[in-house]
Amino acid sequence: MTRFAAPIAEQIWDMKYRLKDGDGTARDLSVEDSWRRVARSLAEVEKDQAAWEDKFYHALEDFKFLPAGRILAGAGTGRAVTLFNCFVMGTIPDSMAGIFDMLKEAALTMQQGGGIGYDFSTIRPKGADVMGVAADASGPLSFMDVWDAMCRTIMSAGSRRGAMMATMRCDHPDILNFIEAKQDAARLRMFNLSVLVTDDFMEAVKADASWELKFGGKVYHTLEARDLWNKIMRGTYDYAEPGVIFIDRINKMNNLNYCETIAATNPCGEQPLPPYGACLLGSINLARLVKDPFGKDAGMDEEMLSDLVATAVRMMDNVVDASRFPLEQQAQEAQAKRRIGLGVTGLADALLMVGLRYGSEEAAAATEKWLKMIARASYLASAELAKEKGAFPLFDADKYLASGSLKEMDQDVKDAIAKNGIRNALLTSIAPTGTISLYAGNVSSGIEPVFAYAYTRKVLQKDGSRTEEEVVDYAVKMYREKFGESAALPEHFVNAQTLAPLDHVRMQAAAQKWVDSSISKTINCPEDIAFEDFKEVYMEAWDSGCKGCTTYRPNDVTGSVLSVSESSEKAPESDEGAEVVYLSEPLDRPQQLEGNTYKVKWPDSEHALYITINDIVVGGHRRPFEIFINSKNMEHFAWTVALTRMISAVFRRGGDVSFVVEELKAVFDPRGGAWMKGKYIPSILAAIGGVIETHLIETGFIEGEGMGLKTDPHADVVAIGEKPRGKACPSCGQYDMRMVEGCMTCASCGHSKCG
């Protein structure tokens, strides 16, 4: 018997969380071994290690508690990795030396795999005077470009690129340029952007008042608040960015507002953090805690939930001591406040099991009730930990209990905190759970609705072919097991595509009442939503108490997402918009091919590299077919032959192969790169990637440097039914990308830009 509820779950475990040696030999022989490794590691700081190891193991068992991927993959491995997911870096000084010190810190953090956030509002605007030199400032956007280039260069831990969040205040003089920055498809691709919206600004928008853009006490521009609001709204309507963060609300509701000020979040927005703030994440799998699912007595097992939350809080508190940190400032900040982010996943599935329609007032009420139970259990458990191990060092009882999010907490919880203190300054957060939700058997992600109740996934086999595999939502699988495979799904089975946007907002607002950090959530909007209705989504998010808002409206710019079929008889059941069949066998090589040869002279190398790329014409379009890399330097022989064979094999499989460019360009040599034609190239492999990119641009395969396909990306793909939509996954090449929890995530392999 396998513990995995679906084949994709076992594949995710094997790819991402299973401990293996450098040669690929598995050290975790089963998922039970992985649970035992993590449990043993997190129990090492306990006095009774054996007892707590068993307690922690049973929390992990059957995917009831899901620590974030970095904990599952890193705890107990002996590897020098951070177990924290989220970092906000130090405040950027408004000086050249200070700016590049911050860049160095960002690079060191990304090397260990942390996603980072930065507030660029502290950098003087473009055109401002620079004291001491006869020059004007280049502005924060120019330095964001430098950060973006750095991020593209560094591969984060586990071969995952770093993700970054950039924020800017709504009163910064460069805010208009910030809003429009990513409308250039080649710019700031490693960043998510969010505007820090203040209470004063929202009041000015509602009052149709003027708004000043200022820096350092100087007013640079004055404009109408509604004009700026419309600019923000138009940007996210057309381009899905920037997001909106209600920063004053975040600071007012922060338990630590007496000792910190927040100006940025992690890449997905669920963790507003102070300078050098770090947070680790974990999720309670609500789909595993429903008693009598789909039965007449269906309901949340409240006793099991409270016990599991208490165990999870203790485990996550122990991670604070077990983890390494890229920077000493981050370690000090984590130890001083012991912040954790315990959230949920499987909410939508749990609602289905108890007969509630996601988005309804009844579902919102249940969500609020469950989240309050988790908050209560978390705070009581942390107070008990403080009694045993001590409160977090910066705890001040009077100030803490007077903070925003504690005002509505039950009196018995406040009494426990007043008596014992509290171990963790903040405890709850709802983070993206796309990958761990697949690992847990394809439960619904976070507090999102189910995206599709079933879809077909293409699985790459060892011989290069792809087989089809049905991936079924966890709750649907349980329903069919109970009522039969042919049983029609009840009317309360709704999905992300058919929900009204304001239903999404209602659910986010209900959850936010009892989450002391924030929530990563995508509000899906139909492509044909009117602009005024779209703006109303954000205004409702503000009015209902949300701390931020992220929407996704599919269009020609953002890319469409997979659609879900509908019928009049029953609710949406299967995903049928992306039936794509890749070439399962390599293309035959014609007798003659047209190609080009390029010379690369790497500094300090005795011999040049000669790179030949040959093309084939498919569907009237020229595309790369093979590559040859040659050098007289015998030290290069083995890796150039290997690279020749591997890249040529990729080219011959078809699809969007432009990801090869990005993978090569992202490789950096620890010995240093070189300047070539006025640009810094981080490695000889990156130089080869640049040559391939140049060739693809010249032959019309891609639009330009750092850009996507120029010709029909499906010219060499057979489509069944209709033309595939959306962008291909950069990891597996499948057209299964969907916007979930504020991040583009692949349903086929679990790849996420946000890590």
Tell me the per-residue pLDDT of 364-376, one tens digit each, with 9 for 90 and over: 999 999 999 999 9
Dump pLDDT digits (tens) for 166-190.
999 999 999 999 999 999 877 898 8
Which of the listed residues 199, 225, 253 is the one where a domain comes to its end?
A: 253
Quick check: is 659 in a domain? Answer: yes
Identity of the residue numbered 118? Y
Residue of 270, 540, 573, 741 with catalytic role? 270
Identity of the residue numbered 239? Y
The whole-angstrom distance between residue 204's C-alpha and the CA centroid of its chain comes to 32
Lowest mean pLDDT among 34-43, 51-60, 429-438: 429-438
Average confidence (pLDDT) over 648-660: 80
Lowest mean pLDDT among 140-144, 170-174, 602-606: 602-606
- Of residues 195, 198, 337, the one with CA closest to residue 273: 337
Average confidence (pLDDT) over 432-450: 93
Q: Binning pLDDT at 50, 70 and 90, where does residue 593 land?
A: confident
Strand 243-246 relative to strand 191-197, pairing: parallel
Q: What are the C-alpha distances in Å from 102 to residues 145, 146, 620?
A: 14, 11, 49
pLDDT at 670: 67
Please say if 266 is a catalytic residue: yes
Which of the listed residues 209, 228, 253 is the one where a domain comes to its end?
A: 253
Say yes or no to pLDDT of 712 above 50. Answer: no
% of the chain surpassing 90 pLDDT: 61
pLDDT at 310: 98
Q: Binning pLDDT at 50, 70 and 90, where does residue 380 land?
A: very high
Lowest mean pLDDT among 160-169, 285-294, 364-373: 160-169
- Of residues 178, 219, 227, 176, the one with CA closest to residue 201: 227
DSSP H or E segment with residue 238: helix 225-239
Say yes or no to pLDDT of 298 above 80. Answer: yes
Average confidence (pLDDT) over 375-397: 98
Instruction: Kindly give, in sequence order, each residue whose CB lies less than 8 Å from that of residue 551, ignoring residues fewer than 6 positions away.
Output: 236, 240, 501, 522, 523, 524, 525, 534, 537, 538
Average confidence (pLDDT) over 32-51: 97
As a whole number of angstroms, the distance between CA 313 and CA 344 comes to 13
Tokens of 148: 């973006």
Say yes or no to pLDDT of 57 above 50. Answer: yes
| Highest mean pLDDT pick, 461-465, 525-529, 667-671, 710-714 | 525-529
Q: What are the C-alpha distances in Å from 24 to residues 11, 435, 455, 664, 686?
A: 15, 21, 30, 22, 25
Identity of the residue numbered 68? A
Lowest mean pLDDT among 297-301, 531-535, 638-642: 638-642
Quick check: is 637 in a domain? Answer: yes
Q: What are the percentages of helix, strand and coil residues in the chain, rounded to 5?
A: 40, 20, 40
Q: What are the C-alpha distances in Å from 362 to residues 68, 346, 409, 410?
A: 30, 17, 22, 22
- Of residues 349, 335, 430, 439, the one with CA closest to residue 389: 335
Please say if 268 is a catalytic residue: yes
Q: Binning pLDDT at 50, 70 and 90, where does residue 466 land?
A: low
Instruction: Kindly give, in sequence order, each residue whose CB lies less than 8 Å from that of residue 412, ignoring residues fewer than 6 positions away.
Output: none
Residue of 192, 255, 257, 266 with catalytic role? 266
pLDDT at 682: 83
pLDDT at 582: 37
In the chain, the number of structural domains is 2
pLDDT at 734: 67
| Highest mean pLDDT pick, 308-317, 433-442, 568-577, 579-588 | 308-317
Q: In which domain, by residue range, is 611 found? A: 594-716
486 versus 741: which is more confidently predicted? 486
Quick check: is 260 in a domain? Answer: no
Please state, rounded to an integer, the average pLDDT across all residues of the chain: 87
% of the chain surpassing 70 pLDDT: 88
Q: Binning pLDDT at 50, 70 and 90, where does residue 724 land?
A: very low
286: Cα within 13 Å, side-chain hemisphere: 31
- CB atoms closer than 10 angstroms to residue 559: 18
Strand 594-600 relative to strand 609-618, pairing: antiparallel
pLDDT at 720: 31
DSSP H or E segment with residue 115: strand 115-119
Please say if 241 is a catalytic residue: no
Quick check: is 294 in a domain? Answer: no
Average confidence (pLDDT) over 59-74: 95
pLDDT at 457: 78
The angle at the Cα of 356, spanning 351 to 360, to the nearest 5 degrees, equals 110
Q: Binning pLDDT at 50, 70 and 90, where does residue 719 land?
A: very low
pLDDT at 98: 95
Rg (CA), the chain: 26
Instruction: Kindly give, in sequence order, each residue whose CB lies less than 8 Å from that of residue 615, ignoring residues fewer than 6 positions away.
Output: 593, 594, 595, 622, 623, 624, 625, 699
Quick check: is 451 in a domain? Answer: no
Lowest mean pLDDT among 44-58, 197-211, 324-338, 633-647: 633-647
Q: What are the C-alpha distances in Å from 524 to residues 474, 564, 570?
A: 21, 13, 21
DSSP 8-state symbol, 736 = -
As a whole number of angstroms, the distance between CA 161 and CA 744 comes to 14
Quick check: is 162 in a domain? Answer: yes
Residue 654 region by backbone torsions, left for phi larger than 0, else alpha for psi between -120 and 50, else beta: left
Residue of 86, 151, 170, 268 with catalytic role? 268
Which of the listed residues 716, 735, 750 is the one where a domain comes to its end?
A: 716
Quick check: is 729 in a domain? Answer: no
Identity of the residue numbered 141? L
Lowest mean pLDDT among 112-126, 149-163, 690-704: 149-163
Say yes or no to pLDDT of 465 above 80. Answer: no
Quick check: is 619 in a domain? Answer: yes
